């Protein structure tokens, strides 16, 4: 059986497979900025922390992280605060122009109207109008981070949609894809059986 294609993955399917493997990977409490947002791709982790008067501005640091990301990557940003935004409209525009596939913010974002117009899939814990300028700084990009209890490393697989965000360790991607195919096959069989049973019930 062929493995499921990446673009066919959804967070609920990945969560089922991770449960089967006994692995943690779902980051709770993340929501899409617009409900149709969907992003599947390899992770570029970015660590942000509270700091005043950083020598490198937040926007410049985030743009550098985008520059370091292969095309179609998904930025996964871990912040130690939700009291100010660490992502907004200008960085979204730059990311979109640069070929980034999506952004996961374990923290706060702003400029949601612009993000929605750009149709860049962005997910966050919360939204705030407060700027991160002179409040937070970039610590690193491309090195492992934690979002809640989930560790995210570069090139891990990210699957994000309106139901949540799931992370698959890079070494487990092929196994997860193959198991996802089996899950989908079982689901199709269940649907077939339900249709058969419903048709029999209506004919009685």
pLDDT band at 201 (very low <50, low <70, confident <90, very high): low
> What is the structure's pLDDT at 8?
82
Rounded to an integer, the average pLDDT of 138-167 is: 97
pLDDT band at 203 (very low <50, low <70, confident <90, very high): low
Strand partners, 108: 85, 126
Looking up residue 22, the CATH number of its domain turns out to be 3.50.30.40
Rounded to an integer, the average pLDDT of 117-127 is: 98
In a domain, 198, yes or no: yes
Q: How many domains does the chain have?
A: 1
In a domain, 1, yes or no: no
Residues with Cβ within 8 Å of 32's Cβ and at least 6 positions away in sequence, in order, are 121, 122, 123, 160, 161, 162
In a domain, 137, yes or no: yes
> What is the structure's pLDDT at 204?
66
> What is the structure's pLDDT at 7?
78
82 vs 185, which has greater pLDDT?
82
Q: Per-residue pLDDT for 110 more than 60?
A: yes
In a domain, 172, yes or no: yes
> What is the structure's pLDDT at 170?
97
> What is the structure's pLDDT at 41?
95
Q: Per-residue pLDDT for 11 more than 60?
A: yes
In a domain, 70, yes or no: yes
Global pTM value? 0.90
pLDDT tens-digit readout, 35-89: 999 999 999 999 999 998 777 788 999 999 999 999 999 999 999 999 999 999 9
Rounded to an integer, the average pLDDT of 136-146 is: 96
Tokens 């799931």, residue located: 166
Q: How many angstroms separate the CA atoms of 46 and 69, rounded?
A: 10
Domain extent at residue 42: 6-203
Q: What is the largest CA-CA distance in the chain?
A: 76
Q: Per-residue pLDDT for 1 more than 50?
A: no
Q: Per-residue pLDDT for 196 more than 60?
A: yes
> What is the structure's pLDDT at 200?
60
148, two tokens: 């809640």
């Amino acid at each position: 059986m062929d493995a499921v294609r990446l673009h066919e993955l959804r967070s609920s399917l990945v969560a089922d497979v991770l449960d089967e493997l006994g692995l943690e990977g779902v980051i709770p409490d993340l929501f899409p900025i617009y409900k149709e947002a969907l992003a599947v791709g390899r992770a570029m982790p970015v660590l942000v922390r509270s700091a005043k008067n950083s020598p490198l501005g937040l926007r410049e640091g985030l743009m550098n992280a985008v520059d370091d990301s292969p095309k179609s990557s998904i930025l996964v940003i871990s912040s130690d605060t939700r009291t100010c935004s660490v992502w907004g409209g200008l960085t979204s525009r730059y990311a979109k122009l640069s070929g980034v596939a999506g952004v996961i913010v374990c923290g706060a974002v702003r400029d949601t109207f612009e993000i929605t117009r750009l149709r860049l899939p962005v997910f966050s814990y919360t939204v705030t109008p407060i700027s991160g300028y002179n409040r937070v700084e970039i610590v690193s990009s491309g090195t492992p981070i934690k979002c809640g209890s989930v560790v995210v490393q570069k090139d891990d697989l990210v699957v994000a949609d309106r139901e949540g965000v799931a992370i698959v360790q890079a070494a487990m991607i092929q196994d997860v894809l193959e198991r996802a195919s089996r899950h989908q096959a079982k689901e199709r069989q269940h649907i077939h059986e339900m249709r058969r049973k419903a048709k029999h019930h209506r004919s009685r």
